[in-house]
Chain A
């Protein structure tokens, strides 16, 4: 039930990332209703105000849409989701690059490693 949170990021950001990822993956489909604030708070093990803030921030980025009295829904705008997927991927790519740099690995080796991981472990291309 309760999610694990890291210590260096505000929880609402971590929740935003979590929901964004689920949208990108298709766990949450366009137009789908998100859980109520209380329900998600209980599920994730966080303060309801944190969930409200998460939804608010997601709405500001047009990733979700709240309808008065009905709840919060995943956007139906496909381009927005596409954009979200790209930006999430970009963030991960940056992190990867940073980690490699920390290990003193150059660009070509890093790409090689990536290539290798892909071929070895399989995965969707």
Chain B
């Protein structure tokens, strides 16, 4: 269980404010969706939580500690980009992960890859986009960190890959102990998987609710709620 607190969190790129004055306490566990239009600051928020970029002002705290390079032990970041070392093989990627991530579950990683029919001798460079995404996620899940930050894991993936990715998350995430943050455009597809939702719009969090409560109250799909608050 991890307490993630954002306090007056502002991030600027040049003069443009990507996030402004966020004051949020994230749920301690479960799956939280971070949705919003392109460029609303979703990805920036994940990068700040993982300590990969630094606030312009305000703070991000993980269990009372400032997010920073050390956050890597607590918060795993899955990039939307091809962040795998492409000169490694699948096996090499997994053993590298086992070498640098404490508590890395190598056996789990290999099992997941086998389930998804990935061959360990294949070079990352030669993998299809979907298989790269599968490998990335398998490695991230096997890190067993208290917080997982998945940046657009579904975007640009075909339905089979999306299915694999979501299945992997629900079967291997410990929803009582781990917090999984997912940004996505595929709101409709993601909705049934969420405990909680943050809707980000123009650098501000405009909705911060339990999804079931939100639904019982509004009797609308998340995508409709999103449309209403981001006009």
Contact = CB atoms under 8 A, between A and B. Distances in A.
A7 B193 contact: no
B215 A47 contact: no
A45 B192 contact: yes
Interface in A41-80: 41-42, 44-50
Contact of A42 (B170, B219, B224): B170
A103 interface: no
A47 B30 contact: yes
Given A7-B219, A7-B221, A47-B170, A12 B212 contact: yes
Contacts of A7: 215, 219-221, 224
Report, as a range, how many residues of chain A touch the other chain: 20 to 34
A5 B220 contact: no
Indicate the member of A5, A11, A49 with the most B CB atoms within 10 Å.
Answer: A49
A48 B175 contact: yes
B163 interface: yes
A14 to B, nearest CB: 9
A46 B191 CA distance: 8
A50 B167 contact: no
Nearest to A7: B221
Interface string B163-180: 100110011010100000
Interface in A1-36: 1-3, 5, 7-8, 10-12
A38 interface: yes
B163 A38 contact: no
Nearest to B220: A7
A42 B164 CA distance: 9
Q: Which of A10, A45, A48 has the most CB of B within 10 A?
A: A48
Given A38-B170, A46-B193, A47-B192, 6 more contacts: A1-B163, A5-B192, A7-B219, A10-B212, A11-B215, A47-B194
16 contacts: A1-B163, A5-B192, A8-B220, A11-B192, A11-B215, A38-B170, A38-B171, A42-B171, A45-B163, A45-B192, A45-B193, A47-B170, A47-B192, A47-B193, A48-B170, A49-B195
